[in-house]
Amino acid sequence: MTVFINIVLVIVGFVLLIKGADFLVNGASSLAKRFNVSDIAIGLTVVAMGTSAPELVVNIISGSVPNEGPDGVMTHDIVFGNIIGSNIFNIFLILGVSSVIYPLTVQRNALWKEIPYSLIATFIFFFLVNDVMFLGSDTNQLSTLDAIILIVMFCGFLTYIFMNLTRNPEETDLVEDIVVYSSVKTTVMIVLGIAGLIFGGQMIVENAVEIAKIFDVSEKLIGLTILAAGTSLPELATSAVAAFQKKSDLAVGNIVGSNIFNLLLVIGATGLVHAPLGFPPSLNLDLYFVMGGTFMLFLFMFTFAKYKLDRSEGFIYLFGFVFYMYVLFEREGLGYGIFF
């Protein structure tokens, strides 16, 4: 009975989280529109941050609750598992589903700048958290300095976005028909959105940890699966709808942008609040999947139809996702399984 209540509360938490993000995006978009901010700027900033808000809230809350590994080292499995798992869901599942729905065309700008930047961000993150491998330290952790580096990289990405908008102000509207609400309704939506994010995130983290304890599974597995899937729902909804409406730029840009936001903003902000964050080395395998999936996206732009993620490549991503889930459960259920 206790497990059932925990599961119900996790579901309620996700509903609050997703609706909170929705209210916050709509309210913030209305506010931005009142100040004559362009639709594309809203799409690349407010909406992109809105779809990453669930990960940010869950991580800020869970960052204060480290867990002790079998070797006695304190790590933050949920913090890193949530983000890495969310990025894997974004690349393999959401891009796969979206491109199967409708082949996705990718602009040259995204191909040569945004996708490589996402890959570079992943490599830098990999370097920063693997102190044992690269620096000969006793433990792996994300320090305050590491968090600042990630935040600086995120600011550089935002600068690139606004410079690009200045150069190409007429290109691709990512947001359509933004409703401008009254001042009172806009304020209420923003307040309710923030409240939904905070309370929903709190419910999810607390009950997910309880479920992990009841079933004697690692918090890392919870972060890589339940939390990653739940916090990726805004990206899934946005990209699937964009694919149905044949808006490739929004579908691809949403995923690539979200992965950059997750690694740089969400982990960076969590690190600034809770550093040092202990990084479990077993998550390196999951990081390899993130790197591989991002590199595949770059390669797919030169196979079959150029500058397009077609349905066959979408099915490859979906197969990759199934393979990853097999590897994940094999590793968590049987030590390191057949791979280590």
Question: Which long-range contacts (C-beta less than 8 Å, at least 24 apart) are formed by 187-191?
Answer: 187/27, 188/27, 189/23, 189/24, 189/26, 189/27, 189/30, 190/23, 190/24, 190/27, 190/28, 190/31
Share the mean pLDDT of the chain: 79
- Identity of the residue numbered 235: E
| pLDDT for 38 | 56
| DSSP H helical ranges for 168-232 | 183-214, 219-222, 228-231
Q: What is the mean pLDDT of residues 193-219?
A: 77
- Residue 330: is its pLDDT beyond 80? yes
How many percent of the chain have pLDDT more than 90?
Answer: 21
pLDDT interval class at 113 (50, 70, 90) = confident
Asked whether the beta carbons of 285 and 81 are under 8 A apart, the reply is no
Tell me phi and psi for residue 308, to 5 degrees. -145, 135
Give the per-residue pLDDT at 247: 63
Give the alpha-carbon dihedral of 251, 253, 256, 258, to 10 degrees.
-90
Residue 276, preceding peptide bond in cis (omega within 30° of 0): yes
* Cross-strand bridge partners of residue 265: none
* pLDDT tens track for 310-321: 888 989 999 999
Q: What φ, ψ does residue 182 adopt, rounded to 5°?
A: -65, 165
Chain segment 276-287, per-residue pLDDT in tens: 888 988 899 999
Per-residue confidence (pLDDT) for residue 227, from 0 to 100: 76
CA distance 332 to 226: 14
At residue 127, φ and ψ (nearest 5 deg) are -65, -45
Residue 277 backbone phi and psi in degrees, to 5: -105, 120
Any idea where the domains of the chain sit in the sequence?
2-333
| Residue 80 vs residue 27, higher pLDDT | 80
Please write down the HEC assignment for all residues of 108-151.
Answer: HHHHHHHHHHHHHHHHHHHHHHCHHHHHCCCCCEECHHHHHHHH
> In the predicted model, what is the mean pLDDT of residues 145-149?
96
Report pLDDT for 338.
36
- Higher pLDDT residue, 117 or 304? 117
- In this model, does residue 336 exceed pLDDT 60? no
d(CA 13, CA 16): 5
**What is the gyration radius of the CA atoms in the chain, in angstroms?**
19
Q: What integer pLDDT is reported at residue 7 of this predicted model?
A: 86
CATH of domain 2-333: 1.20.1420.30
Query: What is the pLDDT at residue 169?
Result: 47
pLDDT surpassing 50 at residue 172 = no
CB of 132 closer than 8 Å to CB of 281:
yes
Lowest mean per-residue pLDDT among 17-26, 62-71, 107-116, 144-153: 62-71
Model confidence at 132, pLDDT cuts 50, 70, 90, reads very high
**Cα atoms in the 13 Å half-sphere on the side-chain side of 313:** 25
Is 33's pLDDT higher than 60?
yes
